[in-house]
Structure 1
Amino acid sequence: MASTWLVDSAEVGHLVARIFDVARTEPLVVVSPVSETGSPRISVEYLVGQLPPGTEVAVLKTMKASRVLSDTVDTQFQCYGGSVRVILPGATRTDYWRRHRLFTVYPEDDEEAACRLIARHVVNSQGAGPAQHVSGRAPGGILDMRQAAELAEYRRRLIDRSSEDGVDEQAPPRQTPPGFPGPKPGPGLRKVVAAAPAQATAETAPAPQPAPEPAAQPTVTRERAVTVDAEALEKMLDRKVDAIVGRVTAGVEEGLVALLNEELQAQDRERSRADSLAEQNADLQQRLDAAQGAGRDVRQVFADPEKQLRWEIEQAWLTGTPESERSAALSTYTLGPQFLESMDADIVPRAKTVRVMVDVLAGHAWDRHETHQFTTAARGGRPRVREDGATAWRTYVKAESPGAPRLTWWQCVDGSAEFAHVGHHDELI
Structure 2
Amino acid sequence: MWVVDAATAVAFVERVFDPARIRPLVLVSTSHRVGDRPLLDADALREQAGELAEIAVMADDAASWTLSKHLDKLSAWGGAVRVYLPDATRADPWQRHPLIQVAPARPHVALGQITAHLRSAADMPARTPAPLTVVPAPGGEDESARQDRGDAVRREAELDRFAAHLADRERLLREKDAVIADLRQQVRKLTKQLRTARESAGPELVAVYADPARQFCHEVEQRWLTTVSEAEREQRPLAPYRLGRDWMSSLEAIELVDRSKILDVVVEVLTGRVVDNVARRVRRMRSSDGGGTAPRVRDDGAKAWRCDIKQRAASAPRLMWWRLPDNIVELGRVAAHDDMQLR
Instruction: Look at both structures and tell me which one has the larger radius of gyration over its CA atoms.
Output: 1
TM-score (norm 1): 0.36
The structure carrying a bigger helix percent of its residues is 2
TM-score (norm 2): 0.44
